[in-house]
Amino acid sequence: MKTFVWKDLSPAERVTALARPENRRDPAVAARVKAIFDDIEGRGFEGLADWAVRLDGHAPDAVRLDAKTVDAARARLTADDLAAMELAVENVRAFQAAELPGDGPVIAPKPGLSLQRVYRPLNTAGLYAPGGTAPLFSTLIMTAVPALVAGVKNRVCITPPARDGSIHPMMIAAGAASGLDSVWRVGGAHGIAALALGVLEGIPAADKIFGPGNKYVAEAKRYATERVSGLAIDMPAGPSELLVIADDNANAKLVAADLLSQAEHDADAQVVLVALSSDIAEKIVIEVTAQVERLPRAAIAKASLDQARLFVVSSIAEAAEVSNLYGPEHLAIQVGDLDGIIPQLSAAGTIFAGTYAAETFGDYAAGPSHVLPTDGAAKAWDGITVRSFLTSFVVQRATKAGAASIAPAAARLARLEGLEAHALAADFRLEV
C-alpha cells in the first residue's frame, strides 16, 4: 500500500493520491470497444459469434432454464449450497418489494388542476453477470430479482462461460430461482454490444443495461449510451472498490479480510484504508500481508494491492473528508463513534457500519443490490434498486376552470420568452 499522511498533503496532492488506477480509462480499451461495436452492428449475430469465439472461446448460445437443465444443475450442488442461494434470493426479493414505489398522490395546485406521478416497468432490461474465472451468480440475483419485482417484461441475462464453455451450476440454479427462463452464454464488451444493438436471436434491444464488469465491460456500457439513442445504463460500475475507516478500536483481522475480499476480485480493483493512527494502520498492514498469502487468488489480490492506498488521518472529520472526496463503491466503518461519523458522510455506494457488518454480507445475502457506482460516481449515482427498473412520468389533467386559473400566467411567461405559439396554445384553451 502507498502510504500518505493526510494533513501533510496539499489539495492537488490529495486529488492525485485519491486517483483511480490509470488503466481504467485506457485509450486502447476504448478503441477496442468501438471496433467491437462497429463489427457487431455491421454483421449482427455473425459478428457477435466471431468475437465470442475469439474472446470467450465459445460461440454464444442461450441456456434454457427448463426443468431438466435446472434439476441437473441443482443435483451438482449441495443442500447447503441451495439453501444459501435461496436465502439470498428471498432477502433480495423482500428488500426490493419493500422499496417498490406506488403511484404518487394526486396534487391539485389549483382547483381543476391535477398532477400525479405514475411508474411503469422497463420493457427490456439487459443484465450482465460476470463469469469466467469467478462466476458471480450473486450479481445475477442482485439484478434479476429487482427487475422481477419491478415487473420488467423481458429480462435478458448474459454471462461469460468458463474456459470449457460451461456455466457454473449455481448460475443456472440462481437464474431459475430468480424467475429467468434462460441465460445467454456470452460476455465481455461484445456481450454488452449484443444487448445494446439487439442482435441476440429473438431478443429485443435493451432499454437499459445493468451490472458490473471489468474495464472492457464498463467502457462498453459507457460507449453504448453514446452509440444507441435512448439507451440507458444503471451507473458506471467497473472494477470493485472498498474504503475502510478504522480507529484504534478496529479489529485488524476483520479490516484486512474486508480489504482482501475486494482486492481478490480483479487486478484493477482498488482498496483504500483510512486509519486514525499509525498504530492501527501498521496492525492492519501486517494482517493483510499474512492473509493474502493464504488466498487461492493471491496473485490477483497482490496486483490489486499495488494500487491500494493508506491514509493516516488525525480525526473523524478528516476521515470523512477523505471518504467523501474518494466516493467509494463500498465503505466500511470500524470506529467507536458510528453515530458521530455517519452524518458526515455524503458519497458512498453503500455503508457497512460497525464490526459485524461485513461487506461480504452485502455482496451476497443482506438484501440491497451489490451493483453499486464506482470511480467516484457515488457522488451523484445510486446503486441498483427496484426503482432502477422503472420509469416514471407525470399525468397532468385540467378542467375548464383549471385551465382558466393557469392559462393567463402561462401565456404571459411564454411571450416573455418570445414563444408566441406557446402563448396562443394557452390562450385558445379559454375560448373552448
Catalytic site positions: 329-330
Contact 52, 172 (CB under 8 A): no
For residue 79 the three cell numbers come to: 443442500
Burial class (CB in 10 A: 0-12, 13-18, 19+), 31: exposed
Contact 158, 127 (CB under 8 A): yes
Distance between CA atoms of 48 and 204, rounded to whole angstroms?
15
Distance between CA atoms of 394 and 115, rounded to whole angstroms?
6
Cα 62 to Cα 223, 403, 408, distances in angstroms: 25, 54, 59
Distance between CA atoms of 33 and 27, rounded to whole angstroms?
10
In sequence order, what DSSP letters do the residues of 85-113 get, joined into one string?
A: HHHHHHHHHHHHHHHPPPPPPPB-SSTTE
Could you give phi then psi for residue 184, rounded to 5 degrees? -85, 135
Strands (E), 335-402: 350-353, 390-398
Q: What is the DSSP letter of 181?
A: S
